[in-house]
């Protein structure tokens, strides 16, 4: 009898311990870039030091799915990421809050034969259009939009993407640009990761202006629609992200071995 009682007490203590631990942890599901750049680990450490609340980070290409399944309290993705609109409009997440942006860039050969390094994106686009430089059309939605926008703004005869018969995206597009010593558009952080892994002969040449910012937003998972969600902790972490001092940390953060600013503050209390 004494042995059974001891086991029951031990089991109860174990359950209590798990409950306290779960109650003191906020779970964040996010796209990959904030994770492998180190930004979210850096911010989470600050949050834990200030509040005592642990942060559990999980990154994937479909972070909203974890919210649907009750495996996240807060979802973080690009504002226009496939899944964000459906997640919110289905009533599973609260209205998105913009928190920060990462950086797209025009990338090309390190020797930059066209001479666009340091120019604004429209100036660089016009100069590339006036040259016979090769251009690889990265098939991601973001680079495709930037190409279409710059074509419309600059009024050049045709978009640079018309020069490309490439149908690749991400690393595959980078490899084609590497082989052809061509110019292309991609996120600065994924490119720097690629360059570190491959000893690339390409470089970031243009990364100036809000057009090249890729805005990210958070959505708090609704506890009244998804079981097991700690909405209060999610809101506390979201509020931490848009505090002025946190936003200043985001602007100052450097990663991927680069001195370039790769993250931009977009949190506002309007």
Average pLDDT over residues 226-241: 97
Residue scoring higher pLDDT (244 or 208)? 244
Nearest of 239, 219, 222 to residue 230 by alpha carbon: 222
Nearest of 81, 106, 138, 102 to residue 213 by alpha carbon: 102
Q: Is 135:163 a contact under the CB 8 Å cutoff?
A: yes
pLDDT in tens, 164-188: 988 899 999 999 999 999 999 999 9
Share above pLDDT 70 across residues of the chain, in percent, rounded to a whole number: 91
Specify the CATH architecture of the domain 102-212. Answer: 3-Layer(aba) Sandwich (3.40)
pLDDT > 80? residue 230: yes
pLDDT > 90? residue 3: no
Strand ranges for the chain from DSSP E: 25-30, 54-59, 74-78, 97-109, 135-136, 183-187, 202-206, 213-220, 263-265
Confidence of residue 19 (pLDDT cuts 50, 70, 90): very low
Q: Do domains 2-100+216-265 and 102-212 have the same CATH topology?
A: yes
What is the topology classification, in CATH, of domain 2-100+216-265? D-Maltodextrin-Binding Protein; domain 2 (3.40.190)
Confidence of residue 23 (pLDDT cuts 50, 70, 90): low
Q: Which tokens is 90 given?
A: 């289905």
d(CA 140, CA 23): 39
Residue scoring higher pLDDT (9 or 169)? 169
pLDDT in tens, 151-166: 999 999 999 999 998 8
Q: Which tokens is 42 given?
A: 């850096």
Domain boundaries, the chain: 2-100+216-265, 102-212
pLDDT > 70? residue 15: no
d(CA 203, CA 105): 10
């Amino acid at each position: 009898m004494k042995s059974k009682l001891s086991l029951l007490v031990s089991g109860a203590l174990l359950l209590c311990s798990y409950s306290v631990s779960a109650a003191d942890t906020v779970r964040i599901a996010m796209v990959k870039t904030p994770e492998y750049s180190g930004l979210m680990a850096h911010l989470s450490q600050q949050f834990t030091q200030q509040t005592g609340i642990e942060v559990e980070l999980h990154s994937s290409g479909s972070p909203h799915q974890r919210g649907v399944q009750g495996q996240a309290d807060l979802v973080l993705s690009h504002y226009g990421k496939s899944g964000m609109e459906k997640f919110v409009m289905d009533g599973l997440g609260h209205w998105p809050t913009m928190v920060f942006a990462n950086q797209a860039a025009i990338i090309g050969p390190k020797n930059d034969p066209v001479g666009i390094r340091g120019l604004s994106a429209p100036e660089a686009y016009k100069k590339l259009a006036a040259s016979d430089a090769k251009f690889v059309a990265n098939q991601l939605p973001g680079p495709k939009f930037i190409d279409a926008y710059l074509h419309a703004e600059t009024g050049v005869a045709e978009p640079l993407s018309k020069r490309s018969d490439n149908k690749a995206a991400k690393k595959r597009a980078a490899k084609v640009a590497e082989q052809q010593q061509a110019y292309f558009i991609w996120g600065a952080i994924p490119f720097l990761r690629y360059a570190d892994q491959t000893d690339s002969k390409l470089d970031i040449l243009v990364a100036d202006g809000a057009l090249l910012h890729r805005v990210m937003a958070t959505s708090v998972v609704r506890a009244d629609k998804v079981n097991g969600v700690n909405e209060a902790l999610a809101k506390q972490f979201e509020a931490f992200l848009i505090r002025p001092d946190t936003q200043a940390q985001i602007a100052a953060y450097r990663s991927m071995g680069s001195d370039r600013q790769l993250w931009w503050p977009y949190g506002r209390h309007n």
